[in-house]
Structure formats: C-alpha cells, structure tokens
Amino acid sequence: MTNSLMDLDTLKQISQDVLKHARRAGATSAETEVSFGTGQNVSVRMGEPENIEYNRDKGVSVTVYFDHQKGYASSSDLSPQALKETVEAACNIAKYTAKDEFCGLADANLMATEILDLDLHHPWNISVDEAIAIARQCEAAAFAVDKKRITNSEGAGVSSSESIFAYANTHGFVGGYPSSRHSISCSVIAEEGENMQRDYWYTTARHLPDMESAEHVGKLAGERTVRRLGAIAITTCQVPVLFEAPLASGLISSLVGAISGGSLYRKSSFLLDSLGKQIASPLLNIEELPHLKKGIASSPFDNEGVATKSRSLVENGVLQGYMLSSYSARKLGMQTTGNAGGSHNLIVQHTNHSFSELLKLMGTGLLVTEVLGHGLNMVTGDYSRGAAGFWVENGLIAYPVEEITIAGNMKDMLRQIIAIGSDINKQSSKQTGSILIENMTVAAG
C-alpha cells in the first residue's frame, strides 16, 4: 500500500475556513475537526485470498454554539461550497436545540500550548501481493501446529492504515498530527471426534518492527485452539478466577466506564462519589500516560484541544481521579481531566508474579480465556458472563472447560484482586497483566 496523506497545513487551513464561516453566521463559538485517512485490509482463508479492501476517507465535522444552544453537522466533501453548507446546517440545527448551560468549548486556559511529537506515524508501504503472502504465512503456521486436528480456518488478515487530522476552535487553538495502525491476525478451527473449537491471536502496533511476526501469530492461534479440545462443563462452585491478560484489560475498561463523566452525572455508575475513596485492593495501581512514544492511545491533547497530562488514576486501590470532558465536568461542578474522547494509555502496575506463579497462587480455580456477552450492570456492578477457559488444580492447568458462567459484583471483584501478572498485554490501550480475583461464582451454562 502506497498512500500519501493530505498535508497538515492544508487541513489546518480548511479548519480555519470552517471557523470563519461559523463566525460570519453569528456563532458565539465553534470547533471543527478535519480528517483524512487511507487503509488496506487483506484476508486469506485456506490459503486463498478471500477479501481485499481499500479505503480512502476524508471528512469535516463542525460544532457551533449560540450561547447555550448547540448545533452539529458533518460532511465528506471538503470543497469550499460544501464547507459553507455544512456550517450553515450546524447553525440551523442550533436554532432548534434546547438551551444547555453546560455545553460549550473547554476553557481557553486549558488548551495545549505545545503539540508534542509522540512518534505515532509509521506508514507500512505493503502491496496487496505482499499482504497476501504474509497472511498465508500466518495461516500456514497455525495449521502446522497440528495438521491432523486443525481442519478449518476463519482466516488470517493483514491490515494497515494511516490518517491525519486537524482540530481547531475559536479560542485560537489549532493542532493535529498523523498516525498509523497495523495488525496481523489469525483464527482457526480444530476438531477431535464431535468436539470442535476455535481460537485466535493477533498483533497490532503503530510501527511494523513493534509487531509480532506472522509466524508467531499463527502458531499461537493454532496452539490456543488445540488446547481447548476436549472442553467440558463444571459444576457450580465458588473459586478464585484468573482473567488472562487480554481479558483483564476488559476489567479495567469496566472500571473506566464507571468513573467516566457520562455515567457519573447520569448517576448510572456503581462508583458514584468514589473520588479519594478505596475502590479496589491496595495492590491496584493505575497510571494514565498520554505521552508514551508510539503508544496505542497516545495524544498531546484530547478531542477538545485540552492538554493531556500524566497522572495517577488509582493509587494503592484509592481512586485519584475521574475521566471527564468539559461538558461532564461542568455537570459535576468539576474541571475537565483532558479525557474528551476517552482514556490515554492506562498502565496497570503488576505484583511481580509471572503467569505460572499466578496459577500456583490460585491453587485450584478457573483460568478464563474467553468471555461472551455483555454482562455488567453499570448501576449496581453486578457481573455475569458466559465464559470458557481451563480448570486449574494444584497450580497446574488440568483440562479445558466451556459452557460456564462466571458471576460476582464488580465492586467486590476490584477489592478481591490478590495478584496482577507481569505478562502485560502491551497491544491494548489498557495495559495489564493477568488479574487474579480471590472468589467468584462459577456455574454450568
């Protein structure tokens, strides 16, 4: 794939044109984002190309404020006439919206004054033929794990994308930067008798050298699939549960959802009024590091132009801060935390336990490697999800299990964290190792 992104200066100029239209239309304030991106996705199944996609997208969005009335519009047409019409549409919408005293731009004194270069843009100039070859290598490595029992494939894929954007508002802020994202993935199916199982693996990064090899991805996908053969259900019990690192990041996502502004001001969070309080085990420490070089969720400013800053989110189990945009912060009588658009690289400190040491510490219990459905009640914290994984006895994996349900309450689960592994999943915006919970209910089906 050989692409050339639009020039950042061009996007910045378009953003200024949009703001000029907004001012002429009488808007009290306005903000806009102009973006351009390209991408290529190639998938192979059973050694043959199955899907080839190429995208080239551009767009502009504008939000206008007439005091406390807000209007929003967007377009994929960046021509001068289309920009003018998009602003006019946003202004027209604003006339019909109810007044909201909390809406508006983030405070001017919070705007980023320095746009840090976080090394986020590393194009991968890969042709379709090269992508097909890599996907074939990946899938072949999966089949090679067990040529007898791995009988089918859901495919191997190679994707590459890059984009650039400029954000500007009537405070005078304008900033933007290019970024890239690449991935290789594989999913295969194994059979033994009447038992059939599937599993997958992937790698993703901003920069090609930071990715795992296609052969490694395929081999791991094959190994993860074969080890699930012969899975059985288990009887209801209450035991320790170990969430494998990729799933443990989902627990951190649930925590983030509960301390995010929207959930808080709507009073739909199980962590209401928890700032400065013990919400988790003293072993839980989470930092937000927005300025990591090549980070999956790195950014020098948030979606409102507010400068991002490193901070401690949870310290020894005590909640140190919320996740707020300017709107949610005003609703709560607080100040934005620079999280309009989400969190920025959450890093969970481990407890110096390797994965095998976590199994030994658990003794007898359940290792969860897959969860199904959306089973968290954000208001009460009640957690119940379908799951699959492995039964562990005497610190060793005994046999695979499936068709089970794990249940608990997220408030209790956070407080019952007894260890966090050093097997950190660095391919996520929420980087954590496997997390061991002291006690949960495990039931058949």
pLDDT recorded at residue 369: 96
CB 256 within 8 A of CB 377: no
Short-list 118, 189, 128, 133, CA closest to 160? 128
**Residue 296 falls within a domain, yes or no?**
no
State the residue range of the domain holding 390.
237-250+350-444
Q: Give the tokens for residue 367.
A: 């290792």
**Residue 312 falls within a domain, yes or no?**
no
Radius of gyration of the chain (CA): 24
Q: Which long-range contacts (CB under 8 A, 24 or more apart) does 44-51 make?
A: 44/132, 44/135, 44/136, 44/139, 44/155, 44/156, 44/157, 45/139, 45/153, 45/154, 45/155, 45/156, 46/139, 46/152, 46/153, 47/136, 47/139, 47/140, 49/132, 50/155, 51/155
Q: How many Å apart are CA 349 and CA 445, to the nearest integer?
A: 34
Residues 242, 110, single domain; the answer is no
**Residue 434 falls within a domain, yes or no?**
yes
pLDDT recorded at residue 375: 86
Q: Is the whole model's pTM more than 0.85, yes or no?
A: yes
Residues 26, 150, single domain; the answer is yes
pLDDT recorded at residue 4: 73
Residues 141, 243, single domain; the answer is no
**Residue 43 falls within a domain, yes or no?**
yes
Residues 112, 241, single domain; the answer is no
Which of 175, 193, 226 corresponds to the end of one domain? 226
Residues 157, 113, single domain; the answer is yes
Residues 172, 244, single domain; the answer is no
- Total domains present in the chain: 2
Residues 79, 137, single domain; the answer is yes
The full DSSP string for 23-58 is HHTT-SEEEEEEEEEEEEEEEEETTEEEEEEEEEEE
pLDDT recorded at residue 194: 87
Work out the number of other CB atoms within 10 angstroms of the CB of residue 372: 11
pLDDT recorded at residue 1: 56
pLDDT recorded at residue 209: 95
Question: For the chain (length 445 residues), average pLDDT per consecutive 10?
Answer: 79 97 96 97 96 96 96 97 97 95 96 95 96 98 97 97 97 97 98 93 96 97 96 92 96 96 96 97 98 96 98 98 97 97 96 97 96 91 95 96 95 98 94 97 88
Domain CATH for 127: 3.30.2290.10
Overall size of the chain counted in residues: 445
Residues 88, 142, single domain; the answer is yes
